[in-house]
Amino acid sequence: MEKELLQEDSQIIVIILIAIMVLLLMAVSLVLFFFFSRKKIIAAELEKANLELSHQKDLLHSTIETQEEERKRIAQDLHDAISAKLNVVSLSTNVLIDGKLNKEEQERTLQNILSVTTKTLESSRRLAHNLLPPILENFGLSAAIEELCDEFISSKKVNIEYAIEYNNLLPKRKELHIFRIIQELLNNSVRHGRAENVILKINDTNEHLEIEYVDNGKGFDITSVNKNKGIGLKNIESRVEILDGKLSYHSEVGNGATFNISAKKPQP
């Protein structure tokens, strides 16, 4: 009898030991599972952070590239529109100072100086307008875009149908980004797309400012553009990113281009 009790006790001890071993194995398995799961989660978070950092670097490079391109454009405008004309004024003035011209030649030279000076003033006003449109500062985004569209229409290079619904709820710095985006789109349509007609719609919703832009220009190949984006498209993408917005576009060679932009509005 005593022997049977000892056997039962031994069996119970074995069962308990087996149960403890199983529990230990389960505990170790759980620890390893959580360890490797956490490791995977950390790796995924690091990968996400690296992608975000890479995206921020790309955005920074794009923004710097855009700024440099704008500086070059301003420098070129200053040279072509102002510096060259002032050189003409300087030369004409020196000729007058020499006193070797007769009365009729003096009058023609003075008329030429007056004409060049007038054109230089117009060029400087246009350059200042391009840098910071005064109508945007004084009357808001809607008026600035209307004036921009009317300027393109009056140039006879393109016809623009526009409908603007905007309640002036964005900060001025964001309005300037939207203005520059529209300006870049119009410049691209005229210079590169050779478009004759443009449709521009701006709708103000509760949370977003929605922009739809369509032209009938020569279009472009999406695949090629995505691989090698020009400064104009990079400029637009950078500004949309700054606006915390979204950009989508579609185009086919010979069938124009469509751009849809959604800019997030600050909530009260």
Question: What is the reported pLDDT for 66?
Answer: 60
196 vs 48: CA distance, rounded Å: 44
Does the predicted TM-score (pTM) go above 0.75?
A: no
Q: Are 66 and 229 in contact (CB under 8 A)?
A: no
Question: What is the reported pLDDT for 24?
Answer: 62
Question: What is the reported pLDDT for 48?
Answer: 62
93 vs 97: CA distance, rounded Å: 6
Provide the angle, in degrees to the nearest 10, between the axes of the packed helices 84-98 and 103-131.
160
Q: Are 159 and 125 in contact (CB under 8 A)?
A: no
Alpha carbon 53 to its chain centroid, in Å, reads: 18
Residue type, 192: H
Q: Are 210 and 203 in contact (CB under 8 A)?
A: yes
DSSP secondary structure, 62-87, as one string = HHHHHHHHHHHHHHHHIIIIIIHHHH
Question: What is the reported pLDDT for 92?
Answer: 74
Contacts of 152 (CB under 8 A, 6+ apart): 158, 160, 186, 190, 198
Question: What is the reported pLDDT for 191?
Answer: 86
For the chain, give me the number of helices (H) and strands (E)?
Answer: 8, 5
* Block mean pLDDT (10 aa), the chain, length 268: 54 60 62 59 61 59 60 63 70 74 78 77 65 78 91 89 88 88 92 92 88 94 78 83 89 93 78
Question: What is the reported pLDDT for 249?
Answer: 93
Q: How many CB atoms lie within 10 A of CB 230?
A: 12
Please give the C-alpha separations between residue 252 and each of 4, 220, 230, 260, in angstroms, as whole numbers. 90, 5, 17, 16
Relative to beta strand 246-251, strand 197-204 is unpaired
Question: What is the reported pLDDT for 163?
Answer: 95
Please give the C-alpha separations between residue 29 and each of 18, 25, 37, 40, in angstroms, as whole numbers. 16, 6, 12, 16
Reading the block at residue 173, the tokens are 């710095």
Q: Are 193 and 218 in contact (CB under 8 A)?
A: yes
Domains in the chain, CATH or no CATH each: 2-128 (no CATH), 133-264 (3.30.565.10)
Q: How many CB atoms lie within 10 A of CB 112?
A: 14
